[in-house]
Amino acid sequence: MPKKRRRIPKIATKPNKRKKEEYYHEPGTIPGTIIVDESSEQPIIFLIDYSQTTLTCKQIINPEDCSYYLDTESISWVDVQGLGNKDILHRLGQTFDLHALILEDVVNMGERPKVEDYEDQLVIIARMVVPNQNNHSFYSEQVSLVLGKHYLLTIQEEPEHDCFEGVRSRIDKGKGVIRRQGADYLAYALLDAIIDGFFPVLELYGERLEDLEEEVIVNPTQDTLYKIYQIRRELLQLRRAIWPQRDAINTLIRDESELISGEVRIYLRDCSDHTVQVMEMVETYRELASGLMDVYLSAVSNKMNEIMKLLTVVSSVFIPLTFVAGIYGMNFNTEKSPYNMPELNWYWGYPMCLGLMAVMATGMITLFWRRGWLTNSVNFKADQEK
């Protein structure tokens, strides 16, 4: 019997959902062992079979029904959404004659994007991201593509989100050259859609970074620090997703395979350029997030300095006033000696003392103002009141 798998908590990018888990096999487990998380979505199989003049779209109940379309000259796209049924996955593997290691890679959600050549089949593991407008983050899932001579099998982690609607629409309406090309062009179109799906996600992060930049400068708080940390963490996820996909696409371009034509390799070069653009944007945003951390620390330090400066100015004004009040609070007896504070018996002594203190305070404030020591403190106080 196969050994149970240990569970590694996965970074959640989908709010209001149970955290997913990535798995790895116990050391010594037989290669090709498949252990399915029964709580995952049940597989739904969709078929799109097309040629330049024909089109068939339908849902498949039994995986064995796909075998009829694998022997035709038309192009068959079998899209499996969900991995919650081990029996269906095994039957799917038998129908498409999949190697046991392919099924293992498909089920293991922690796979690194890569390309594997199995002679008559080409396996591509990719990471797909879709924008989540609710919290300005993204959904992330693994997509596996198995390319044959006249078919393409795609296996998605779950049926809720993908970025393939544009490709489906082009097939349905006959736009472009996709219905005049082979299965390798379909694989390119899906990979291109996966890579292009990173750009809307990065656009959301660009907006978040702009808002954070303003927040860091105007009113940095402890919550701001958490937001910066969160965005750096999520950008690291994007980097881990896109970096190996560039290597996988370059492998498709570099390694000659009978399943990929020279014309499609030219298209894949454009896809590779897009991965480089995504990587550069991710690295730029990570640097901006790191810079915001430095700006935050500097802003907090400046804020503390302004507070200390304001308190120091207030203390400096009241120190001489406290000195005068302390002297006149000693209450010496003028009957014993004329030097024992004769001002205590003056008729205008109290108003004169208050006047002297007011002149001293006004003079010190005027001096501080002319030297520019009060300008930043006053502006800071006004900003805090706003």
pLDDT tens digits for range 179-215: 999 999 999 999 999 999 999 999 999 999 998 988 8
Q: Is the pTM of this model over 0.85?
A: no
Mean pLDDT of 19-32: 57
Q: Which residues sit opposite 142 in a β-bridge?
A: 127
Q: Shortest CA distance to 268 belongs to which of 188, 327, 358?
A: 188
* Phi-psi domain of 79 (left: phi exceeds 0; alpha: psi -120 through 50; beta: other): beta
Record the tokens describing residue 85, joined without a space: 């049924």
pLDDT band of residue 375 (cuts 50, 70, 90) is: low
pLDDT tens digits for range 44-53: 999 999 999 8
Average pLDDT score, the chain: 82
Residue 264 above 90 pLDDT?
Answer: yes
Q: Are 153 and 146 in contact (CB under 8 A)?
A: yes
Q: What is the largest CA-CA distance in the chain?
A: 125
pLDDT tens digits for range 343-369: 777 778 778 888 888 888 888 888 878
pLDDT tens digits for range 72-92: 889 999 999 988 888 888 899
Report the 10 Å Cβ neighbour count for 261. Answer: 15
For the CA atoms of 270, 273, 278, 284, the dihedral, rounded to the nearest 10 degrees, stands at -150
DSSP 328-366: HTS---TTT-TTS-GGGG-TTHHHHHHHHHHHHHHHHHH
Q: Report how far residue 297's alpha carbon sits from residue 74's, in angstroms, rounded to the nearest whole number.
A: 61
> Residue 299: CB partners within 8 Å, gap ≥ 6?
216, 217, 220
Q: In terms of DSSP bridges, do strands 75-81 and 151-156 run parallel, antiparallel, or are they unpaired?
A: parallel
Tell me the CATH architecture of domain 34-178. 2-Layer Sandwich (3.30)
Q: Where are the domains of the chain?
A: 34-178, 309-385
Q: Report how far residue 84's alpha carbon sits from residue 109's, in angstroms, rounded to the nearest whole number.
A: 12
Superfamily classification of domain 309-385: Magnesium transport protein CorA, transmembrane region (1.20.58.340)
* Phi-psi domain of 16 (left: phi exceeds 0; alpha: psi -120 through 50; beta: other): left
Q: Report how far residue 267's alpha carbon sits from residue 193's, in angstroms, rounded to the nearest whole number.
A: 13
> Which amino acid is it at 271?
C
